[in-house]
Structure 1
Amino acid sequence: MTTLVTGATGFIGHEVARQLAAAGERPRLVVRRRARGPLLHGLDADIVHADLRAPETLARAVAGCDRIIHLAGRAVFEPARKLVDSFVHGTRHLAEAAADAGVEHLLFASSLLVHAPTDEPITADTPPDPVTDYGRTKWFVERKLAAFGARTGLAVGSVRLPHVYGPTDQLFGRVHRRVLLVPGRTSRPYAHLHVTDAARALIRASEQRWQGASAIGDAQPAGWDEVLGHLQARMPDLRVVRVPESLARVGTTLLAPAVALRRQPTLQTVDAVRSWNFSMPVAPDALWPQLGITPRYPTYREGIDATLDSYVAFRWRHPVEDRSR
């Protein structure tokens, strides 16, 4: 059994790789930027240098693999034109290489943002209706993958991840600096999931050759005010600076021309501000019963406490902030 993990040097991909290696499997990990390869040091894994945008590099990467957990892509709220290469073209190249190599299953890490904001808990039956370019791009890829699978026989699944957090994510990197700038004040419910549980769900779905598409979250959606309140209770010296949503939208709109010139991904966009203020709860029983597992951290409270306890073990540079080539 060989699992290929794309995006293995990213936040979620690294945890997926770590869990697979810890379970005794020797995963194959795709690295695009060589400078980030050392992040995988210490994992019992095979490292392969490949680029989803260069299909000629993928045949060697997928050869002999039984399944793929696909996490690579620009995990930011940017205009669609910046997302197409990694998500649309890259995923197409990967799926074609997988089908040619006889891979059995491809699991796509999609996003909760394929859905529209809603006060009703999102389930697998909630129809997609994205309102951001990031969500639209993910939904487009989901549909293309499903059609490709139906045409070629490649089993395909799409797990729509919520806000995933943990000791190596960008949010907690800023928490560690004791100052957190947030765009708005909101009690609207949002689905969260600790990275440990996100990786567990992805691995189990891949192991089961699960097919379909579904959102997932922990057992208790919570608004950002509630989450940040818990953080501040655990870290009294954490300063949360709230910029009014309207002002944050104006600021990111004015920054848009400069941001468009940047090659590196960024979260300084209007869609990022909008998404922070969405209501996006997920039903607690979405997907978990099908996987036969439950979250190790059932709510943000347990997850945040565990994150703060473990954060001291990491000195991490999030891929969004990593300028190394």
Structure 2
Amino acid sequence: MTGRLAAVTGATGFLGRQVVRALGEAGWRVRILSRRDPVDSLWRHLTPEVVAGDLRDDDALGRLCLGADVVIHAAGLVKAPSRAAFDAVNVEGARRVARAAESVPHTVLVSSLTAREPALSHYSASKHAGERAMSEMLGERLTIVRPCAIYGPSDRELLPVFQAAALSPLLPVVSESAKVAMIHVEDAAAQTAALAAAQPSGRTFALCDDRPEGYGWRELMAEAARACGRSPRFAPAPKALIRAVGITNDFTVLAGVTPMLTSAKVRELLHPNWAVAPEERAEGTPMAKFDLRAGFEHTVAWYRTAAWMKH
């Protein structure tokens, strides 16, 4: 495998930068698409080749994919003001990458477990449509990976959860019955890199830690608090209140703000089953290094070192 070339989009994102590191550690040469020449502490022992451009630049995508053994398409939007904005990146961007990768033996699309439920939100619908667009063009040369909820160092989306766990004497429990599969970002990257090295399958796989049945919300909040050295009390969060917060945040979109907790995100949070079934998992991928407790502790330690959390 030494010397094989992996071309990566979304290389400077939360998961993408870890994927680049995992590929480098596995002996790949790495070429990335980026608007600027990135400097990343994770890449101390790796100097990826940089193709200047973005997903709207067909010439840059062509240069990115030229001569590659595998393309990993990890670029995407996780929040946007409208379905059209999501589709411009998560669907049309995926289609452009597929077009550029037509002569590449293997392409890996990093999607999302939410693509299982496209009716839940504009985000989940766009990820599902992006999968379909790439599959129609690449067929058996495409492998789709659907990470479950990813967390870890430099994650801004779950930071408010840990901040609340560190400060609040009372933490909300969104649901007493829902299950949420989780994965540390380093484990998600290792599994993605392993699937990139495998033969293309035309299949879709979910990425998760060694608890594919998932975690309850009470356990998630308890482990977040434990990682912060706290032992708070818990209370059910009224679903009507959560929905009201989401609807209220919808109106901020009109002011040009794109909050994470919109009504669409609330529907995703309240979905009862984000567990991973046995048939969704890929055989032969690395076992997770982090269980939830170790992963949350690792994440909080990074937040504190980076001064993202003071407590």
**TM category, shorter:** 0.7 to 0.9
Alpha carbon RMSD of aligned pairs, Å?
A: 2.9
State the AA in 1 paired with 2:115. Answer: V
Question: What pairs with 1:122-201 in structure 2 (closer than 5 Å)?
Answer: 130-150=119-139, 155-174=141-160, 175=162, 178-179=166-167, 185-187=174-176, 188-201=178-191
State the AA in 1 paired with 2:152. Answer: G
> Structure 1 residue 292: deviation in Å?
4.3
Report the equivalent of 1:216: 207
Cα distance in 1 for partners of 2:8, 2:218 equals 34
Report the equivalent of 1:38: 39
> Structure 1 residue 57: deviation in Å?
2.6
> Structure 1 residue 149: deviation in Å?
1.3
Paired residue secondary structure (1:302): helix
Paired residue secondary structure (2:226): helix
Question: What pairs with 1:287-298 in structure 2 (closer than 5 Å)?
Answer: 287-289=281-283, 291-297=284-290
Report the equivalent of 2:250: 256
- How far does the alpha carbon of each residue in 1:235-294 deviate from its partner, in whole angstroms, 9 at most, with x for none? 1359899864322322332332431453x75413111122122221113574242x3432
Cα distance in 1 for partners of 2:70, 2:175 equals 40
Residues 203, 227 of structure 1: alpha-carbon distance in 2 compared, 3 angstrom cutoff: same
Cα distance in 2 for partners of 1:109, 1:169 equals 17
Indicate the structure whose relative CO is greater, using CA pairs within 8 Å and at least 6 residues apart.
1
Residues 93, 241 of structure 1: alpha-carbon distance in 2 compared, 3 angstrom cutoff: farther
Residue 95 (structure 1) aligned with residue 98 (structure 2) = yes
Paired residue secondary structure (1:218): coil
Residues 253, 172 of structure 1: alpha-carbon distance in 2 compared, 3 angstrom cutoff: closer
1:235 to 225, 228, 231: 228
Cα distance in 2 for partners of 1:169, 1:9 equals 13
Q: Percent identity between the aligned chains? A: 27
Cα distance in 2 for partners of 1:91, 1:285 equals 25
Paired residue secondary structure (1:282): coil
1:27 to 26, 30, 36: 30
| Contact preservation (8 Å) 2:210, 2:287 | no
Report the equivalent of 1:204: 194
| Contact preservation (8 Å) 1:107, 1:206 | yes
Report the equivalent of 2:265: 272
Cα distance in 1 for partners of 2:295, 2:133 equals 34
Compute the TM-score of the two structures, normalised by the length of structure 1. Answer: 0.79
Residues 25, 205 of structure 1: alpha-carbon distance in 2 compared, 3 angstrom cutoff: same
Q: How many residues align?
A: 294
Paired residue secondary structure (1:160): strand
Provide structure 1 residue ranges, at least 5 long, that are not aligned to the other structure.
117-128, 317-325
> Structure 1 residue 167: deviation in Å?
1.4
State the AA in 2 paired with 1:138. Answer: K
Residues 306, 254 of structure 1: alpha-carbon distance in 2 compared, 3 angstrom cutoff: closer
Residues 158, 269 of structure 1: alpha-carbon distance in 2 compared, 3 angstrom cutoff: same
- How far does the alpha carbon of each residue in 1:75-130 deviate from its partner, in whole angstroms, 9 at most, with x for none? 2375321201111111111111111xx211111111111224xxxxxxxxxxxx64
| Contact preservation (8 Å) 2:107, 2:141 | yes
> Structure 1 residue 226: deviation in Å?
0.8
Provide structure 2 residue ranges, at least 5 long, that are not aligned to the other structure.
none
> Structure 1 residue 10: deviation in Å?
0.8
> Structure 1 residue 132: deviation in Å?
2.0
| Contact preservation (8 Å) 2:171, 2:221 | no
Report the equivalent of 1:58: 61
Residues 49, 260 of structure 1: alpha-carbon distance in 2 compared, 3 angstrom cutoff: farther
Question: What pairs with 1:291-306 in structure 2 (closer than 5 Å)?
Answer: 291-297=284-290, 299-306=291-298
